[in-house]
A and B are shown apart, each in its own frame.
Chain A
Amino acid sequence: MLQALTLLLVCQLLGETLVRLLSLGIPGPLVGMGLLLVFLAYKGGPDQGLNEVSDGILRNLSLLFVPAAVGVIQQLGLIQDQWLALGLAIIGSTLLTMLVTVGVFLGVARLMQARA
């Protein structure tokens, strides 16, 4: 478990370092994910420890958003001023994004099937 957690942190640290050295404008953890993927391809897959640790973290993904969600109490003034714009932007954009994404996914998959 300790090894797996260390591996995740090392990948993230390398990712953050690369992003800053090369001024990539991409978040460090994402570069870390890419690095871990390269590592897994090289090793031929995750060991039991890494399987368990990553499953454990991803199964409790919701927990990690709780501290940010509680931050709403700091922003109450701004939210009161802009609630209509914020609310409609979030609701409209999220629904539209899901519809467009699922539509394009299924559309392209169908086109590929028709060609095959």
Chain B
Amino acid sequence: MSTEGSDLFQLWVYLSGTPLLWLTATLVAYVIAEMLAAKSGRHALVNPVLIAATLLIVVLLLSETTYEDYFTGAQFIHFMLGPAIVALAVPLWRHRQMVRRNLLPMLMALLAGSTVAILSAVGIAWWLLAPEPILASLAPKSATVPIAMGLAENIGGLPGLTAIIVVVTGIFGALTVTPLMNALRIQNYAARGFAVGVASHGIGTARAFQVNETAGTFAGIAMGLNGVLTALLLLFWPFG
């Protein structure tokens, strides 16, 4: 091996062992994904999470990097999911009057949506003969990642699989909400946002904020409330 090659190899060994490399790579992938999303005019199909994750997966596979090594850097971004949920108190405070006016529709929609989210996901998978840990991993799928992972673990699911299910649920909801609501001719942005927040948490909320500020706020509220209600409903989990 030439000296140059082994120097490069040593540099790679050094960099891939520090959090800096994968933290930076995650940010770079996201910046690229954001640019593509902006260029497409925020088209629903150009989802930043989907693009950034795909780019990173390709890089990890090509460089034969394990997810554990990747996560040494990426954990700093993952960690911010917690403070982000706390930060939802701010838009909630700003829109408190609108929230108060819509309190009853919101609570009834939450109760119905949250129950349907759990029962339909578990029901479909059960009907297709999925084993119990898969059912438990699916049950909290509409709650946001840090909440769902904890809940899945409590009821005998696999937290890693739940994280993926939750993200895919989020992306799918974000992709379909605008065409679905437009097809139904629903113009009430509070209701539209609330629905995507209950069904697909933070990724749906991020999408709702792109479409309309009211929709985003109601999506954020829905995400927060659905986290609480999913936790309460899963106290009645019958298996495990």
Q: Which residues in A have some Cβ–Cβ distance to B below 8 Å?
A: 5, 8-9, 11-12, 15, 25-30, 32-34, 36-37, 40-41, 45-46, 50-51, 53-55, 57-59, 61-75, 78-79, 82, 84-86, 88-102, 104-106, 108-109, 112
Interface centre among A25, A46, A86, A92 (most CB of B within 10 A): A86
Across the interface, B113 reaches (CB within 8 A) one of A34, A59, A66, A100, namely A100
Confirm or deny: B165 has a beta carbon within 8 angstroms of a beta carbon on chain A: yes
Confirm or deny: B82 has a beta carbon within 8 angstroms of a beta carbon on chain A: yes
Q: List 24 A-B contacts (CB under 8 A).
A: A27-B147, A29-B83, A32-B86, A36-B87, A54-B89, A54-B90, A58-B205, A61-B202, A62-B49, A63-B52, A65-B49, A66-B52, A66-B74, A69-B52, A70-B56, A71-B164, A82-B134, A86-B125, A89-B125, A94-B142, A94-B172, A95-B176, A105-B108, A108-B104
Interface residues of chain A: helix, strand, loop or mixed (majority): helix
Map CB proximity to A onto B163-186 as digits: 1 under 8 Å, 0 otherwise. 111111111110011001100101
Number of interface residues of B (CB under 8 A): 107
- Check B49–A66 contact: CB distance below 8 A: yes
- Check A33–B85 contact: CB distance below 8 A: yes
- Nearest Cβ distance between residue A41 and chain B, in whole angstroms? 7
- Nearest Cβ distance between residue A21 and chain B, in whole angstroms? 16
- Check B93–A12 contact: CB distance below 8 A: no
Q: How far is the CA of A62 from the CA of B50 in the complex (A)?
A: 10
- Nearest Cβ distance between residue A114 and chain B, in whole angstroms? 13
Known: A33-B88, A74-B160. A102 touches B52 (CB 8 A): no
Known: A57-B87, A89-B121, A90-B141. A25 touches B224 (CB 8 A): no
- Residues of B within 8 Å of A53, CB to CB, are 87
Confirm or deny: B1 has a beta carbon within 8 angstroms of a beta carbon on chain A: no
- Check A109–B102 contact: CB distance below 8 A: yes
Confirm or deny: B43 has a beta carbon within 8 angstroms of a beta carbon on chain A: no
Confirm or deny: B211 has a beta carbon within 8 angstroms of a beta carbon on chain A: no
- Check B105–A104 contact: CB distance below 8 A: yes
- Nearest Cβ distance between residue B127 and chain A, in whole angstroms? 8
Q: How far is the CA of A11 from the CA of B89 in the complex (A)?
A: 11
- Check B85–A30 contact: CB distance below 8 A: yes
When C-beta atoms are compared, the residue in chain A nearest to B130 turns out to be: A85
- Check B192–A64 contact: CB distance below 8 A: no
- Check A86–B86 contact: CB distance below 8 A: no
- Check A33–B224 contact: CB distance below 8 A: yes
Known: A33-B86, A67-B75, A93-B120. A45 touches B161 (CB 8 A): no
Across the interface, B164 reaches (CB within 8 A) one of A11, A25, A72, namely A72
Known: A74-B160, A98-B195. A86 touches B87 (CB 8 A): no
- Check B90–A51 contact: CB distance below 8 A: yes
Known: A57-B80, A58-B220. A86 touches B89 (CB 8 A): no
Give 8 closest A-B pairs by Cβ, nearest first: A101-B113, A67-B74, A69-B53, A36-B89, A93-B121, A54-B87, A105-B109, A29-B85
Q: How far is the CA of A9 from the CA of B224 in the complex (A)?
A: 17
